Structure 1
Amino acid sequence: MKRLSRNEMAARVARDIHEGAYVNLGIGLPTLVANHLPQDREIFLHSENGLLGMGPAPAPGEEDDDLINAGKQPVTLLTGGCYFHHADSFAMMRGGHLDVCVLGAFQVSAAGDLANWHTGAPDAIPAVGGAMDLALGAKQVYVMMEHQTKSGESKVVAHCTYPLTGIGCVSRIYTDLAVLDVTADGLAVREILSDISFEELQQLTGVPLMRAA
């Protein structure tokens, strides 16, 4: 079975980010989206540590230790980009000024509930960061994650069993197998990204699916 690589997933997410959007890319997998944004679109990347106007990752050897994203990864700053106070950054997030945020997840429910900060395991290190602020403050929340766990369990579930980040906040789910829209009637398959059928995708997914109109 064909599965998208992480960079291929990032490229697929990048295709759906519209011209003029203000976008936050969450720590981890979503940061790859910055490297695949169409060059003919003006898109403003925001980082919760106080950056607006981020570009792609720097070339090897050109990293600036003072220019990092919220995940402490080296980034570039486009012409017109700026730095600002951490509190101002969170005011942007909480005030509804971001059009899109792209977050990773441990689980997403059929109702769009998000669990991405803690597995509940006794030895796990909680890492909520600004995820709750983004999940509730962004106009659209895209989740980018593998479709299944390493043990083969679906990360798309009827009800999240991990501690929640946000309730009913997810708009769209991008996995290495498919793009799913969260609707009032359930999850709709917008696109299958693998060489599998709708029926096979359904067997791999923890909740009922329907075809997008």
Structure 2
Amino acid sequence: MSDDVKTRIAARAALELQPGEVVNLGIGIPNLIPSFLGPETGVVLHTENGLLGVGPRPNGDELDPDLIDAAKQPITALPGAAYFDSAASFAMIRGGHVDVAVLGALEVSGDGDIANWAVPGKDVLGVGGAMDLVVGARRVIVTMTATSSRGEPKVVAACTYPLTASGAVDVIVTELSVFRRVDGELRLTELLDGATVDDVAAVTTAPFVVALEESHVH
């Protein structure tokens, strides 16, 4: 996956975030989203290793080795930020105080099932916070490419990898499209970067309804 593709997905996902929302960003593509969130957006970023009020990536003299996110990437803290331990952080997540979780996935099914923590036959470092986040957050946005490195669809009829959670995903953003789960069905609501419905259908095995919003066809 090229950096350009990752950046385009992150930029589109950033548009899903609303002022005042508390948002947790997962490792990978979601970690690129802060570059597209100016202070005027009013989005409050949360990291499960203990900071609410994450600022933009540091430059030069701003770098503080004591300030990192859950992906161990350097961060800054905005004025008024709050620090806490991991237990308090996960209490926030499990208590429903995180509005949005943005994370990557290996597969997402048409029913909103998500698999993103293990590949059978490969070493697993650990579940991390994904299972808590996708259940505890009020809204779950997945950012991922439409296909795997082997060209296999990632928006699928049924997940084949071990599930992180069932029925948890609300929005899927890929380099080709935006899907939303509405009233129990998967809806294609937006085409990106010149993609067509046929392009999306060719790399999607999950059944979906075409419900394009005219202002969102790019």
TM-score (norm 2): 0.91
In the alignment, which residue of structure 1 is the partner of 2:139? 140
Give the counterpart letter for 1:130 in structure 2: G
In the alignment, which residue of structure 1 is the partner of 2:175? 176
TM-align CA RMSD: 1.6
In the alignment, which residue of structure 2 is the partner of 1:107? 107
Q: Tell me how far apart the structure 1 counterparts of residues 194 and 101 of structure 2 sit (CA, whole Å).
A: 28
Q: Tell me how far apart the structure 2 counterparts of residues 58 and 118 of structure 1 sit (CA, whole Å).
A: 31
Aligned residues: 210
Contact 1:4 1:176 in 2 (8 A): no
Greater than 4 Å deviation, 4+ residue runs: none
Identity over aligned pairs, percent: 46
Q: Tell me how far apart the structure 2 counterparts of residues 196 and 27 of structure 1 sit (CA, whole Å).
A: 26
Question: Which moves more between the two structures, 175-184 or 95-104?
Answer: 175-184
In the alignment, which residue of structure 2 is the partner of 1:156? 155
Contact 1:15 1:38 in 2 (8 A): no
Counterpart of 1:78 in 2: which secondary structure? strand
Q: Tell me how far apart the structure 1 counterparts of residues 78 and 29 of structure 2 sit (CA, whole Å).
A: 21
Contact 2:107 2:115 in 1 (8 A): yes
Q: Tell me how far apart the structure 2 counterparts of residues 129 and 198 of structure 1 sit (CA, whole Å).
A: 35
Residue ranges of structure 1 left out of the alignment (5+ in a row):
none
Contact 2:23 2:46 in 1 (8 A): yes
Give the counterpart letter for 1:99 in structure 2: D
Q: Tell me how far apart the structure 2 counterparts of residues 60 and 182 of structure 1 sit (CA, whole Å).
A: 42
Q: Tell me how far apart the structure 1 counterparts of residues 204 and 130 of structure 2 sit (CA, whole Å).
A: 25
> 1:1-213 alignment to 2 at 5 Å?
5-60=5-60, 62-121=62-121, 123-212=122-211
Q: What does the per-residue CA deviation read over 1:51-100, in whole Å, with 9 as the maximum and x for residues that have no partner?
A: 00001111146321100000111001111112111111000000000110
TM-score (norm 1): 0.93
